[in-house]
Structure 1
Amino acid sequence: MTASRSTRRQWMQLPARIVSEPGTLCLPEQPGVNIDAVLDQLRNGTYTRPFVIDDGRSRRLHFGLDFVQSEMCIDDPDALNFAYTRMMMAFLLFAPRPQHIVLVGLGGGSLTRYCYRQLPRTRITTIEIDGDVIDLSEWFELPEDDERLQLIHADAADYFATTREEPDVVLIDACDGKGVAPAMRDPSFYRNLHRHMRDDGVLVMNLIGKARDVQEHLELMASVFDGGIITHNLRRDGNRLAFAFRDPNYKPDWTTLQRRSTAMQEQFGLDFPDFVRKLRRSRIVPSLSEL
């Protein structure tokens, strides 16, 4: 179903100094809540709802005081602040004219905003399971739904099990405070996703969390995607990205991609030549047996 958007007036705003941060703390709580109990939960890491800290320069979505899920520059809301989100856009090297992108995980809307602004001929569908995260979308200047953009409140596993859509690109950035959302640790999720993608489709997934959990997701992907899976570690962020291709016979032509990357850098303002160099040096997992 299409998601409804709430307004900022439904959020409690407090001075962020009460949690040793500058700016304003925005909580998904109504007046009358036991604020002392909420603050205790924030400080000891047991608060279970997302929240925002706004310092006047940037606006950050948190799943805990120690975990920043997304960040938006107030003066440049469409910029991709995190290295891993910029690197995820490397899918354009392999699918330069996508017709339909499905994003799993809204977060602060960085990838949704960027794709919507930079790819005016592309339809964008974003799947988000957490209603509180959807309620935050106005804080992060997410465009309203239109003929090109649709925000859907749903479990991505249910979406791919039932959708009739055939996206040519799927971007998965669905994390909680511990890593990749546990609901995706299921072979049927990857099978359904693979079944619905176009024949030349590209999947990019942000893998973060414990090493054994990341390895399990790679094994699940390799059991479904018969072609090579390119994995790249971002040392500074601690993220690992996996690029998988629906066509089992697809092999990147790195010379052509390097030539294409210069024009793409000028068009999108991202360092596509560096993306090519990094991906070319990255690990390629051709089959489950070689994981």
Structure 2
Amino acid sequence: MKNASPAGSELPGVSISEEDGVRHLHLDSPWIQGSMRIAKPVDIELEYVQRMMAWLLFFEPDAVPDLHAMQLGLGAAALTKFCHKRLGMRTTTIELNPQVVAACLRWFRLPDNDERLQVLLANAEEAVQDPDWLGSVDALQVDLYDHEAAGPVLDSAEFYRHCHAMLSPEGCMTVNLFGRHASFERNMQNIASAFGADAVWHFKPTREGNTILLARKSPGAFDLPLLRHRAEVIEQRWKLPARLWVHALQDWRPEGLA
């Protein structure tokens, strides 16, 4: 879970811990905000972060290097590194806390910015309203939590409408929510109001309680044979548990929405 403190508030400090060959990022609390297996720095260590890549099911694998991925919240840079280095995508990351960026450069093998990678110090609430991003993002990954990891910092219907506007016509957003947190139902309602209830799917919570939600710009039913085929390719090429994603994704209709 990534940091996104409101503008004008004091940003939390960063600390690092290591256990059993895995390095963790913390923000002024014991909560883990991101992890990296030291021997495999580009692999995605945490299950919920792997599920944030489920948008891959909705694109032809050969087309992935031509797509644009954006992360709102850097965390330990797992998604940023994977999209940039493993998938070869144009990758943009919005992070508010400069200490997080510095820690990822020093401790989590985040590469320097180049022609395909831009890690930008900015407020995500403002960044999603930038007209330069309109219709330009194919894969939007949203993981914006404060240092206590209690719930998403940005979760309004207006925020999610801006996210929807950033996506390309076939674009997809994945969001990390706490299924056991009081904000979960409100987030689901707000996302469904921005994208349409028939464009929203979710996984069951992980053991830690993280529920990954997936919302598509263009709603439609799953083509299960096609998704199963893509899942096999994803597993072969990028070593992600994509076949499990196909079986685990569920549609969800919030109360009060058709």
Q: Is TM-score (shorter-chain normalized) higher than 0.5?
A: yes
Q: Which of these residues, 82, 85, 94, is aligned with residue 49 of structure 2? A: 85
Give 1:1-291 correspondences, 5 Å limit.
48-54=12-18, 57-96=21-60, 97-98=63-64, 99-120=67-88, 122-138=89-105, 139-165=107-133, 166-176=136-146, 177-182=148-153, 184-208=154-178, 211-226=181-196, 227-248=198-219, 250-279=220-249, 282=250, 284-286=251-253, 289-290=256-257
TM-score with structure 1 setting the length: 0.76
TM-aligned CA distance change 1:55 to 1:273, over 3 Å: closer
TM-superposed deviation, 1:131: 1.9
Give the root-mean-square deviation of aligned CA atoms: 2.1
TM-superposed deviation, 1:217: 0.9
2:227 aligned counterpart, secondary structure: helix
Q: Percent identity?
A: 27
Moved more, 236-245 or 169-178: 169-178
CA–CA separation in structure 2 for the residues paired with 1:152 and 1:82? 24
Moved more, 268-277 or 207-216: 207-216
Moved more, 58-67 or 82-91: 58-67
CA–CA separation in structure 2 for the residues paired with 1:170 and 1:286? 21
Given that 1:127 and 1:152 are in contact with CA atoms closer than 8 Å, whether structure 2 keeps it comes out as yes
List, as ranges, runs of 4+ consecutive aligned residues in structure 1 with deviation greater than 6 Å. Answer: none
Structure 2 gaps of 5+ residues are 1-10
Given that 1:180 and 1:209 are in contact with CA atoms closer than 8 Å, whether structure 2 keeps it comes out as no
Given that 2:95 and 2:101 are in contact with CA atoms closer than 8 Å, whether structure 1 keeps it comes out as yes
TM-superposed deviation, 1:287: 6.2
- Larger RCO, structures 1/2 (Cα 8 Å, 6+ apart): 2
Moved more, 233-242 or 143-152: 233-242
Given that 1:228 and 1:286 are in contact with CA atoms closer than 8 Å, whether structure 2 keeps it comes out as no
Larger radius of gyration: 1
Aligned length: 239
CA–CA separation in structure 2 for the residues paired with 1:56 and 1:239? 22
Given that 2:42 and 2:86 are in contact with CA atoms closer than 8 Å, whether structure 1 keeps it comes out as no
TM-superposed deviation, 1:208: 2.1
Q: Which amino acid aligns with 2:94?
A: I
Structure 1 gaps of 5+ residues are 1-46
TM-score with structure 2 setting the length: 0.85
CA–CA separation in structure 1 for the residues paired with 2:24 and 2:178? 19
Given that 1:56 and 1:74 are in contact with CA atoms closer than 8 Å, whether structure 2 keeps it comes out as no
Moved more, 52-61 or 197-206: 52-61
TM-superposed deviation, 1:241: 0.7
2:137 aligned counterpart, secondary structure: coil
TM-superposed deviation, 1:55: 5.1
1:170 aligned counterpart, secondary structure: strand
CA–CA separation in structure 1 for the residues paired with 2:184 and 2:144? 13
Q: Give the match for residue 38 of structure 1.
A: none
CA–CA separation in structure 1 for the residues paired with 2:151 and 2:96? 13
